[in-house]
Structure 1
Amino acid sequence: KFRAPPWFAYTSNSKSAPPFLPFLRLLLPLFSLHPCPPSQISPFPATPPAARAPRSGGRSPPLPQPLRRAGGACAYPTDGTAPPSPAAPAGRDTGCRSSVSASARSGFVRRRRRLCDRVRARRVRAGAEMKGVSAIPAVAIIPSPLFLWRVKVILFLLWGLCCCKIGWDSVMRMSVDLRDLFLYEAFLYYNPLLLVALMIWLWGVNLWVFAQSSVNYAKVFDLSQTHLSHREIWRCATWLTLVVPTSMTAYLYLYSHGEVSLAASQPVLLYAILLMILLSPFDMFYLSSRFFFLRTMWRIALPLQAITFPDFFMADIFTSMSKVFSDLERSGCRMVHRQVATIAWFEADSICGSHSVAIPLVLVLPYLCRFFQCLRQYKDTKEKTCLLNALKYSTAVPVIFLSALKYHVFPDVWISFYRPLWLISSVVNSLYSFYWDIKRDWDLSILTRIFMFKNPSAWSNLLYGRSWVFYWVLGSNLILRCTWTYKLSAHLRHNYLTVFAITALEVVRRFQWVFFRVENEWNKMTAKQNFEMSSDVMPSESDRLLDSNSHKV
C-alpha cells in the first residue's frame, strides 16, 4: 500500500505548513517517492472532491509491473499504446515483461489518477483519513476559549491569594503603633491607581452594553476605525489590576523586612513606567488611543477652541475623580521631595502633608475646567443653559475651600461661622447637580410621568422597559451626590477606608450616568439626522407649482 507522507495533510494556506512544502511537492515525483507526475502535483489548493465524479467502489487491483528499458531504468506506461520493447541481450533475463495488454495499461492509468485525486482530497480535508490510505493526524488540538478563560480566572485568583497572604504577613511584622500610619501611606500611593483601574473596567462595561444595543458610541465620540473595543479596554484594565497590587505587595514586603530604600523605589518605578507608557511616541500600546486621550486632556485644560462632546464628557468624568488627582498630587510631591516610605506627611508643617494648600487647588481644578468650558460654549452658541450649567460647577468651589479653611482658622470661628456656610453650600451643590443630571444630561424632563408608574422605556432603549431601573438610578444618584460632598471636604478625610469606599461609589455613580448621557446624545443625533433627511425629500415651492395636480380645472 502507498503511505502518504504526514506533511501532505497540510493545506497550502495553512499557518502551520512548512514554507518548503510547495517545493517538496514538486520535487517528490522526481525521486520516485510519489506515484503522481509533477504535472499532476500542484502546490495550490486542489478542487474539492465533491466537484469530481465519484470513484467506483471496490478495492483497487495491484499496480502492474514496470517496463524495464535497455539502460536499466523502468517506466510506467502513460497512454494506451505499448512502449517499444528493447531487445534483450542473448542469454540474459531482463526481468521485465515484453508486453502488457491494453486493458491492463488503461486500468493502471485510471488507478494512478484516482490515487492522485486522493492525495489532492487529503490536502483539502487537511488531516481526514482517506479510504485505503493510512494517515497521520496533523491538526493540533486547540483548547476552547471557555477553557482558557477558566484557566485565566484560576490563575488570577491564585495570584490574588498570594498577594493577600504576603501583604498580610508583612503588615503583621510591623509594630502596632506604626502599622496604621504605614498602611495610610501605602494607601496614598496605590489608592488612585486602583480607582483608575476600576473606572477602566466600568468603561469597558459601558462600551460592551453600547455594542449590544443600537447606540453607536463611536459616532457619538467621533472615534476612528481603530478605536479600542470593550475587549481591549478590559485587557488594559487587567494589566493595571495585576501590576498595581503586585507593586503594593512588594512595597509592604520590603519595608517590613527592613529594605526601606528598595521599598521606596516600588511606587516610584510604578509611576515612572506608567507615565512613560502614556507619553511614549512609539507605535505601541495603542498609540492612536493614547494620542486621542492626551489631545482631549489638552483641550480640557485650555478651552480655546470649540467644545466637542468628548471634551466636556471627559471633563465630567474628571470631576468624579478629583480625589484621585489630589492623591496623585500628594504622591508626586512626596516622590519629588524624597519622602517615600516615611510617615512625616502626617505632620501639619510637612511640605506634602494633608494640610497642604495644594490639596483644595487640585480638587477644584476639574470643576474650573468644566466651568470655563461652559463659558466657551455660551460664547459659541449664545444659549443660556450654558450659563446655568456653569453655575452648577461654580457651586462646588465653596464646598472645597470652606472645608479647607478648618485647618487655617480657630476652631470656634469654624464652628460658628464657616461650618454653617459649608453645610448650605454642600446642600445646594448636591441638589443642583442632581437636578441637572435628570433634567439636562438625561433629558428626563417630565419626572411626574415616571413616578406615576408609566413605562419609561420611551426615554431609554437600554433598559428594555424595566421601570425599576429608573427608580434605582434616581435614588442612587441623589444619595451618591450627597455623599460625594464628604469626599470634597478635606476636614472629613480621616478614615482612609471610608474615603476609598465613597470615592469608589462615586465612580460607580458616574458609570451609570454614562449610559443615559451617551444614549441621550445619540438620540439627539439620530433625531437631527432624520429631520435633515425629511427636509431633503420635501418638495420645493417651484415643484409644487409645476405639479400637474395643481393645474386641474
Structure 2
Amino acid sequence: MKGVSTPLSTAVILPSPILLWRFKVLLFFIWGFGCSKIGWDSVMRMSVDLRDLFLYEAFLYYNPLLLVTMMVWLWGVNLWVFALASVPYSKIFDLDQNHLTHREIWKCATWMTIVVPTSMTAYLYLYSHGEVLLAAFQPVLLYAAVATVLLFPFDIFYLSSRYFLLRTLWRIVFPLQAISFADFFLADILTSMAKVFSDLERSVCRMVHQQVATIAWFEADSVCGSHSVAIPVVLVLPYLFRFFQCLRQYKDTGEKTTLLNALKYSTAIPVIFVSALKYHALPDRWMNIYRPLWLFSSVLNSLYSFYWDVTRDWDLSGFTRIFKFSKPHICSHLLHGQTWVYFWVIGSNLVLRCTWTYKLSAHLRHNYLTVFAITALEMLRRFQWVFFRVENEWNKMNAKTSVPLPLSDLLNEEDKLLKSNDHDV
C-alpha cells in the first residue's frame, strides 16, 4: 500500500532475487556433483570386461533425451536473440499470444536437465548394486513420463504450446494441407535429429521386448540389434517427410525450386540404405560396389545440402553479403554484422555438413561417443542455421508488405481520386 508504513514486527522479509538465484545455482552444482560422484562409483564397481557394455547400454537409453535437452536449450537461445533483435518470431511462425518465451523454454530445459541425468544416475547405481529389475524400470518410467507430459489433456504444462507442437508434428507426418513455415522449419530440425529418433526406436524396442538391463540385445542379429532393418528405416523418415512436403509445396505453388529442394532430401536416402548394406552384403561386393557408391552419395548429399543452405535458406547468393551490407537489418546488425561471422558460418556449415554423413552411416556407428559428438555438433550447426533462416524469412515478409504499386496502378488510383465528388477541397 502506497504511503502506508508497515510495522517492523509484521513486515515480511523476502529474500532478494539475486540471493535466491545464487541459492538455486548452488543447489544445481551440488546436485551435479552428487550425480557425477554416484555415477562414477557405480561404473567403477563393474568388472573391466562388462564396463564398456554397461556404459554403452546406459548411454543408448539416455543419449536421445540428453540431445533433445540440448536442442531445447539452444532453441531458447535462438528466441532470446530474436527478442533482443526485436524479430517478431511469433508472427513468422504464426504463434498465438500464449506462445512460450525464451525464459519458459529455458525453464523446461532446466527441468529436463535435472530429470534425465537423475534417472540415468539411478539406473547406474541400481544396476551396479544388483537391483536389475529396479534399474530396468528407470528408463521405462522416464520415457513414460515424457509421453504423459506431452499428451496430458489438462491445462497445465503449457497445454497450448504442447498441442501446437503435436499438431505441427502431425502435419509433418501427413502433409495433407498447405505447408506453413513452421511445418517445414520443424521438419528441417527433425532431419538433424534423425540419429535421436533411431536411438529412440532401439530403446523402445528393447523396452517392449524386455531387454533392458540385459546383454541379450548385443547380438548383432537380434530383434533390436545393430543389424536391424528398422535402424535405416527410422533414419530416413525425417528426410522422407521433408521430401513429401516439398512435393506438396510444388502442388500448391507450382514453383520448380521446391522440386530441386525435394531432390536435395532424396540424396540422403542412398547414403542411409547403401551404408546399411554392409551388414547384408559379402565383403568383396561391399568394397568393390557398395562402398564407392556410398562415398559418392555422401559427397553429393553434403555438397548439395551446403549449396542449398547458403544460397536458398540463407539467401547469400554469390556470397555478396559477405563483402557488402547494402541493406542491413536489425537481426543482421545484432547477430552477424561482422564479415568474419559469415566466413565462420559458411566454413563451419561446410565441414559439419560433410561430417553429418558419418552419423547417417550405419556401418560407422561402433564408436558411440564419436557419433554422439557429431550429433551434438550437427545440432550446433542447426542452431546457427536458425538465425539466418528466420532472418531470411523475415526479410521476405517485409519485402512483401513494402512492395510499391506499379505505375499504372498509381495512375488509376489518382484518376479515381480526381473524379470523386465525395470529398471537399
Q: TM-score, normalised by structure 1?
A: 0.73
Query: Which residue of 1 is the match for residue 422 of structure 2?
Result: none
Looking at structure 1, the residues matched to 321 and 193 of structure 2 have their Cα atoms a distance apart, in angstroms, of 33
Q: Which residue is equivalent to 1:469?
A: 341
Cross-structure match for 1:125: 3
Name stretches of at least 5 consecutive residues in structure 2 with no aligned partner. 420-425
| C-alpha separation in 2, matches of 1:225 and 1:443 | 30
Give 2:276's match in structure 1, choosing from 392, 404, 424: 404
Q: Which amino acid aligns with 2:176?
A: L
Aligned equivalent of 1:345, options 217, 221, 238: 217
Q: CA deviation at 1:547?
A: 4.3
Find 2:187's aligned residue among 309, 315, 334: 315
Instruction: Tell whether the 8 Å contact from 1:251 to 1:266 is kept in structure 2 after alignment.
Output: yes
Instruction: Indicate whether 1:369 and 2:241 are aligned.
Output: yes
Matching of residue 272 in structure 1 with residue 144 in structure 2:
yes
Contact 1:201 1:234 in 2 (8 A): yes
Of the three residues 294, 303, 306, the one matched with 1:431 is: 303
The residue correspondences of 1:391-540 to structure 2 (distance < 5 A) are 391-448=263-320, 450=322, 453-455=323-325, 458=328, 460-463=332-335, 465-531=337-403, 539-540=410-411
1:136 is displaced (CA, Å) by 3.3
Please report how far the alpha carbon of residue 343 of structure 1 lies from its aligned counterpart in structure 2 after TM superposition.
1.6
| CA shift digits 1:233-279 (9 cap, x unpaired) | 00000001100000000000000000000000000000011101111
Aligned-pair distance for 1:313? 0.4
Match in the other structure for 2:412: 541
Once residues 417 and 92 of structure 2 are traced to their aligned partners in structure 1, the CA distance between those partners, rounded to angstroms, is 41
Q: Which has the higher contact order (CA 8 A, sep 6+)?
A: 2
Against the structure 1 CA distance between its residues 140 and 308, is the aligned structure 2 distance closer, same or farther, given a 3 Å change threshold?
same
**Cα pair 2:336 2:342 within 8 Å, conserved:** no
Instruction: Tell me the alpha carbon deviations over residues 381-416 of structure 1, each in whole angstroms, 9 at most, x when there is no partner.
Output: 010000000000000000000100000001111011
Q: 1:546 to 1:145 in 2, by over 3 A?
A: closer
Aligned mate of 1:283, from 136, 139, 155 = 155
Task: Give the % identical residues.
Answer: 74
Distance across 1 between alignment mates of 2:336 and 2:254: 37
Which residue number in structure 2 is paired with residue 203 of structure 1?
A: 75
Pick the aligned partner of 2:12 from 140, 150, 156.
140
Which amino acid letter does the alignment assign opposite residue 541 of structure 1?
A: N
Deviation at 1:214, TM superposition (A): 2.7
In structure 2, relative to structure 1, the CA distance for the partners of 1:304 and 1:253 (3 Å cut) is: same
Alpha carbon RMSD of aligned pairs, Å? 1.9
Instruction: Look up the match of 1:235.
Output: 107
Q: Is the 8 A contact 1:455 1:467 kept in 2?
A: no
SS in 1 for 2:97: coil
Query: Could you tell which deviates more after superposition, 339-348 or 363-372?
Result: 339-348
Runs of 4+ residues over 6 Å off in structure 1: none
Show the counterpart of 1:180: 52
- Aligned residue-pair number: 417
| Structure 1: segments with no counterpart, 5+ residues | 1-10, 12-123, 129-134, 549-553
Question: Structure 2 vs 1, CA of residues 181 and 546 (structure 1 numbering), >3 Å: closer, same or farther?
Answer: closer
Amino acid at match of 1:236: C
> Bigger shift: 188-197 or 139-148?
139-148
1:382 corresponds to which letter in structure 2?
Answer: G
Structure-2 separation of matches of 1:454 and 1:376: 36
Q: Secondary structure, in 3 states, of the residue corresponding to 2:8? A: coil
Aligned-pair CA distance for 1:225:
0.3
Q: Once the 2 structures are TM-superposed, how far is the Cα of residue 227 of structure 1 from its aligned partner?
A: 0.4
Amino acid in structure 2 at the alignment position of 1:544: D
> Would the aligned equivalents of 1:127 and 1:138 in 2 still touch at CA under 8 Å?
no
Contact 1:127-1:136 at 8 Å conserved across structures: no
1:350 & 1:165 partners in 2: Cα distance? 34
Question: Residues 80-159 of structure 1: matches in 2 within 5 Å?
Answer: 124-127=2-5, 135-136=7-8, 138-159=10-31
Please report how far the alpha carbon of residue 141 of structure 1 lies from its aligned counterpart in structure 2 after TM superposition.
2.5
Matched residue type, 2:328: A
Say if 1:362 and 1:517 are closer, same or farther in 2 by CA, change over 3 A: same
Tell me the distance in 2 between the aligned counterparts of 1:309 and 1:207. Answer: 16
